[in-house]
Amino acid sequence: MDRGTKAAVLVTGGAGFIGAHTAKALHDRGYLPVVYDNLSSGFRDAVRWGPFVHGDIRDERALGDALAEHGIKAVIHFAGLIEVGRSVAKPDLFWEHNVAGTVSLLGAMRDRGVGRLVFSSSAAVYGQGGRGPLETIPEDAPKAPASPYGDTKLACEWMIQAQCRAYGLTGVALRYFNAAGADPSDQIGEAHEPETHLIPLAIAAALGDGKPLTVFGDDFDTPDGTCLRDYIHVSDLAAAHVAALEADLPAGAFEAVNVGTGQGASVFEVVKAVGQAVGHAVPHSIGARRAGDPASLVANPSRARELLGWSATRSSLDQIVADALRWERTPRYGAGVRGERKMQASVD
Ligand SMILES: NC(=O)c1ccc[n+]([C@@H]2O[C@H](COP(=O)([O-])OP(=O)(O)OC[C@H]3O[C@@H](n4cnc5c(N)ncnc54)[C@H](O)[C@@H]3O)[C@@H](O)[C@H]2O)c1
């Protein structure tokens, strides 16, 4: 998509963690981000860089109205449910929000002639990881989601690809690895309820705002026995969305692209980095492995470099932890959620 003066981009889920950071990146690059969100887990205070439309992605008519009213040229689609554990207990809910919601969005875009979509996919489509336990994962690695959450992300990719072929939509699915950190301005940051991600949980445990952290398994086939994950700074992730929006792709093209760093950090390395940033050790204990946790999920990010001209610049573990810690210490929206966070960490 050409960068026009204040071209309007609909950001579904733009009141949430990654969506809000992307809205800011769009604004900084000269676009007008129009956030469309039902605020089920997002925050009105996180919408700061353009108009807000309160709506549900399952409401095709309201979506169509928003596309028309704001003269939308492209959509970045974050809205959906994200907790892996909850998807096992309530798979129907996840298919309804994530898959039926995407059907409704695709219908509204087709009817209004909106030709470009960037979709939040996930490393969860790879399930147990790549071809070997410690190898980085390329996009053509086997797809075998280990949860209904991952199933919904893969189903959405297939559906978007089919719509690209049928109607000339241009689609990019970005498969995120572990998003973390916060915008350097401290205006926005991570505020999930319940929080299931390791870095905010480790910080909460260290600051005494949450229970001691449980490390789920220290007997994996990895150098220190704990799981390896690829942590990507949310500002880098936001930049990847802008690059996907602007990528030179023909009508009808569909691309799936990993967004990660190519470097894994173990749970113990994260715990140590948080301890160093806070100034004392993170209280933690070792628990049993959780069902379905792969030993290693680390992206091969070459395709993002080749196709989008994108690579991570702010994603060292120390930088991510420093930004996340500053955000946790900043008075902010979502501040009340921390004490109720569940002490678990997952890849979504
Ligand atoms: N956080 C990660 O590490 C990660 C990793 C891989 C993929 N993802 C994907 O990225 C996207 C954003 O994740 P996040 O961490 O920012 O989550 P988030 O919960 O902070 O944001 C999701 C937003 O979607 C909104 N929403 C949910 N259902 C909706 C509906 N039916 N209609 C309208 N709005 C709705 C919520 O109110 C919220 O603002 C999700 O699709 C998630 O699956 C996240």
Q: What is the mean pLDDT of each run of 10 residues along the chain (348 residues)?
A: 75 98 97 97 96 98 98 98 92 98 98 98 88 83 94 98 97 97 94 89 90 93 94 98 97 98 96 96 94 90 98 97 94 60 35
Which run of H or of E encompasses 285? strand 284-287
Task: Please tell me which residue in 36, 149, 176, 231 is annotated as part of the active site.
Answer: 149
Is 126 marked active-site?
no
Residue 135 lies in a domain: yes
Which CATH number goes with the domain that contains 148?
Answer: 3.40.50.720
- With respect to residue 17, please indicate whether it lies within any of the assigned structural domains: yes
Q: Is residue 312 domain-resident? A: no
Amino acid letter, residue 219: D
Number of domains composing the chain: 1
pLDDT at 2: 59
Q: Which residue puts its alpha carbon closest to atom 32 of ligand 1?
A: 56
Nearest CA to 82 out of 233, 194, 173 is that of 194
Q: Check if 334 has its Cβ closer than 6 Å to any atom of ligand 1.
A: no
- Give CA–CA dist 346/348, Å, rounded: 6
- The predicted pLDDT at position 195 comes to 86
Which pLDDT score, from 0 to 100, does residue 341 have?
A: 34
Residues in the chain: 348
Residue 264: inside a domain = no
pLDDT for residue 220: 93
| Among 183, 62, 180, residue whose Cα is nearest residue 112 | 62
User: What is the predicted pLDDT for the residue at 345?
Assistant: 36
Say if 271 falls within a structural domain.
no
State whether the Cα torsion 228-233-236-237 is positive or negative: positive
Tell how far the Cα of 276 is from the centroid of ligand 1, in angstroms.
30
Residue 316 lies in a domain: no
Range of the domain at 237: 8-179+232-259
The structure tokens 């690809």 sit at: 161
How confident is the model at residue 331, as a pLDDT?
77
297 belongs to a structural domain: no
Is residue 316 exposed (0-12), middle (13-18) or buried (19+ Cβ within 10 Å)?
A: middle
pLDDT at 82: 94
Residue 3: the pLDDT is: 55
- Per residue in 217-240, pLDDT (tens digit) is 999 999 999 999 999 999 999 999
Strands ordered across the beta sheet of 265-266: 265-266, 228-229, 296-297
72 falls within a domain: yes
Per-residue confidence (pLDDT) for residue 339, from 0 to 100: 39
Supply the pLDDT for residue 333. Answer: 79
